[in-house]
Amino acid sequence: MAYTEVSGNRVPIRMWTDPNTVEPQAMAQLYNVTKLPWIHGLAVMPDVHYGKGATVGSVIAMRDAVSPAAVGVDIGCGMTAVRTSLRAEDLPDDLRKLRSGLEEAVPVGHASHRTPVDPRRLPEVRSRDWDEFWDRFDTLTDRVQRLRERALHQLGTLGGGNHFLEVCLDENDAVWVVLHSGSRNIGNELARYHIEEAQKLPHNQDLPDRDLAVFLTGTPEMESYRNDLFWAQEYARRNRDVMMGLACAVMRKQFPGVQFPEWISCHHNYVAEETYDGVDLLVTRKGAIRAGRGDLGIIPGSMATGSYIVRGLGNPASFNSAAHGAGRKMSRSQARKRFTQADLIKQTEGVECRKDTGVIDEIPAAYKDINEVIAAQTDLVEVVTHLRQVVCVKG
């Protein structure tokens, strides 16, 4: 589908969805972004919905400025998917043991590892230079220096909310392991500190929305944020890498001889330095993946609707971006009021997962139709394969 262009203040809003279906709060957020003096362009994905700080499903391209609240508090949140050598027929009929093994290996919710994981002992972990990475912790803002041990213990943990670890089957019955997580507490702490600092700066006092407070290129505040931001984005990627290594170890124990030939990983809450229209820009993808030509990405649905592996088509109109998931169509509180445990059990039939009241806010009906989201961006990505989950672990 071609995008719809909606008038903004300084720039138009390019929308890969029907503007009439977007809630007024989200449209107001988007319009406020177009008032920023540093804005170069704004693209809106089909999974768009109102978000804290900035609209989820938005791609904000700015000149010499970045808004830490637009990036959000889960810096570097994203996805990793690994195709295994297993096939559907290799899995047992009862998947409870597999789910239990994954839950034992990867702490969920607020839990951490009792002893920090040594990634070098996990053969599948592809990240390197761990000593250099942790040495860079000392360069982070003083606000988080007390959190080093917590960050070490949380490396390789899932978190809660919409984060998940799944075992899936693709259209050819190949078995995949898929996970969604971010930078855990350390990313949250860094984000909150810099959001507070940005809101104090004089040039941000007359903005239409204080959550859009920015740092400006060439200032000490920007240099501090960039340093912390890029470290947290790397922590998030390494966190997913370690979790996948732990999950692969569980698979190897239960299925001796299994191999893991294909890995895909992508952020969907992050900042990248990219050039469009001959202009160097800071591109914030808030609930959006990079979809440059040939880029492989992962777009998940909900607990029972699976995920899509996609390949980017490199559309500059979207700043080489695509949706990051199905996107919520109702808030967590609305979902808890509207649905029951019986609804959850029915909607997750056939998936080995939690079916208790603690995850009702993640019920599939609280999300948009992932198939419609994919269909709305055929000029942004092409589908490689559709995955359907058989095991879903949530915090």
Q: Is 194 annotated as a binding residue?
A: no
Q: Is 89 annotated as a binding residue?
A: no
Measure Cα distances from 13 to 4, 5, 197 in Å.
Answer: 8, 6, 28
324 is catalytic: yes
The alpha helices in 5-162, defined as continuous H runs, are 24-33, 68-71, 96-105, 130-135, 148-154
Q: Is 202 annotated as a binding residue?
A: no
Q: Is 142 annotated as a binding residue?
A: no
Q: Are strands 321-323 and 288-290 parallel, antiparallel or unpaired?
A: antiparallel
Q: Is 74 annotated as a binding residue?
A: yes
Q: Is 268 annotated as a binding residue?
A: yes
Q: Is 260 annotated as a binding residue?
A: no
In angstroms, rounded to a whole number, what is the distance separating the alpha carbons of residues 98 and 285?
34
Contact status, residue 309 vs residue 301, Cβ threshold 8 Å: no
Q: Is 165 annotated as a binding residue?
A: yes
Give me the DSSP letters along 199-262.
HHSGGGTT-S-GGG--EETTSHHHHHHHHHHHHHHHHHHHHHHHHHHHHHHHHHHHSTT----E
In angstroms, rounded to a whole number, what is the distance separating the alpha carbons of residues 278 and 272?
16
Q: Is 156 annotated as a binding residue?
A: no
Active-site residue identified among 153, 267, 324, 386:
324
Grouping H, G, I as helix, E, B as strand and the rest as coil, residue 265 is: strand
In angstroms, rounded to a whole number, what is the distance separating the alpha carbons of residues 258 and 374?
31
Q: Is 162 annotated as a binding residue?
A: yes
In angstroms, rounded to a whole number, what is the distance separating the alpha carbons of residues 184 and 161?
12
Q: Is 40 annotated as a binding residue?
A: no
| Strand spans (E) along the chain | 4-6, 13-15, 39-49, 56-62, 65-66, 78-87, 164-169, 174-181, 215-216, 262-267, 269-276, 279-286, 288-290, 296-300, 307-312, 321-323, 352-353, 381-394
Q: Is 64 annotated as a binding residue?
A: no
Q: Is 164 annotated as a binding residue?
A: yes
In 10 A of CB 226, how many CB atoms? Answer: 17
Contact status, residue 209 vs residue 28, Cβ threshold 8 Å: no
Grouping H, G, I as helix, E, B as strand and the rest as coil, residue 193 is: helix
Q: Is 327 annotated as a binding residue?
A: yes
Q: Is 269 annotated as a binding residue?
A: yes
What are the phi and psi torsion angles at 65 (to 5°)? -155, 150
Enumerate the known binding-site residues for Mn(2+): 74, 163, 180, 268
Enumerate the known binding-site residues: 74, 162-166, 180, 268-269, 300-303, 307, 324-327, 394
Enumerate the known binding-site residues for GMP: 162-166, 268-269, 300-303, 307, 324-327, 394
Catalytic residues: 324
